[in-house]
Structure 1
Amino acid sequence: MTTVRVGVVPTQRAALYSVLGILVTVTICGAFVAAFGANRVFTGLLAGAVAGVAALSALFTRDAVVLTDHTIYRRTPWTVSSIAWDRVVAGRFTLDERSRWSLALDLSGGDEPHGELVLLSIPPVVRPVTGAYDLRKRDQVTEIRAVLRRKRIPVTVLPQIAGALQQHWQIAPPTH
């Protein structure tokens, strides 16, 4: 069974997660100061920062889209919903409103905004893989394409995106 973890955290949820991380940090720091006195403010800040980073990490890790062979799962820290593959009409790799490359699925029916599910949003590829981020994004693009190919879902790719992927990341354009 193939499982691919992707997804884009919307800005509003990312802001909420950041506020929650700050609240955790401040609460733990305040608890340290209340329990041990003002001389432990730096210890409280350190413990709060560790807990805040752990909370942020847990929230962002839980927020994802998971593609499996049978279903697409959309997870948030509080809910899990599923989307049947038969609702997927097509895929597209285009520019989004922020001039980033967006790989999205077009869906029929349901309550998704504009009937789409964004799987990936990356900065334009302008050079070969140079680090862990580029490598992970290239692997995600390859994994998503493999799943969509197995599911026989047509994918539209803008020519400049297809050219850059082929030139810099050695990802061949989709064939029909």
Structure 2
Amino acid sequence: MDDAVATERPGPVRAGVVPGSRIALYAAAAVLVTAVLSAAVVALFGVNRVFTGVLLGGVLGIALLVALFRRDAVVLTEQGIERRTPWSAQPLAWERVVGGRFTLDERARWALALDLTGDAELVLLSVPPVVRPVGNAYEMRKREQVQQVRQLLREKRIPITVLPEIATALQRHWRLAPPAR
């Protein structure tokens, strides 16, 4: 009985594509933290502690990188959409969503995006073209995200346009039914 309740009301769906400029900023911040902490340990404890400094700096740099990427997301809930970055959160109402589309992006990847009022778009997912059944954890996570987003959009009665070749591949390889019209 708990499983039926869980499938009827999905929790918040995390999605979002981090732009390249923010990826570079996050990587630079992680490298800077690693370098500063490594230098600080060496300065405080001597040159014999270089390995310790690099290890400590690397661990904290990676922790910072993970925290930044974890915070940078689009969260879809029953109440609305929240576009988050590490330094801000912008709520969007479902009423601003005109429709959704699953098409090719400029890098020949499949992009699931929402069209918003005011000629704006919000990219939720970008996945490599599906050419085989799920073969690894990354593909399984992307399949789950596509399924969760499509289910939530279906519940919100937001029309989704899917290119025929994408719909065919999703159905054939990932066993995701095409959206109901």
Q: TM-score normalised by the shorter chain: which range applies?
A: over 0.9
TM superposition shift of 1:145 = 0.4
Deviation string 1:49-69 (CA, Å, 9 cap, x unpaired) is 100100000000000000000
Q: Give the alignment of 1:23-172 within 5 angstroms.
A: 23-109=32-118, 115-172=120-177
Query: Letter of the aligned partner of 2:85 in structure 1?
Result: T
Query: Letter of the aligned partner of 1:152 in structure 2?
Result: R
Counterpart CA distance in 2 for 1:48 and 1:131 is 31
Instruction: Give RMSD over aligned pairs.
Output: 0.8
Counterpart CA distance in 1 for 2:90 and 2:72 is 12
Deviation string 1:72-91 (CA, Å, 9 cap, x unpaired) is 00000000001110000000
Query: Letter of the aligned partner of 1:108 in structure 2?
Result: T
Counterpart CA distance in 2 for 1:175 and 1:130 is 27
TM-score, normalising length: structure 2: 0.93
Question: Is the partner of 1:97 in helix, strand or coil?
Answer: coil
Give the aligned partner of residue 22 of structure 1: 31
Question: Is the partner of 1:30 in helix, strand or coil?
Answer: helix
1:10 aligns with 2:19: yes
Counterpart CA distance in 2 for 1:45 and 1:126 is 41
User: What are structure 1's unaligned runs of at least 5 residues?
Assistant: none
TM-score, normalising length: structure 1: 0.96
Aligned length: 172
Query: Letter of the aligned partner of 1:64 in structure 2?
Result: A
Counterpart CA distance in 1 for 2:93 and 2:99 is 13
User: What are structure 2's unaligned runs of at least 5 residues?
Assistant: 1-8
Query: Letter of the aligned partner of 2:156 in structure 1?
Result: K
Determine what percentage of the aligned residue pairs are the same residue. Answer: 63
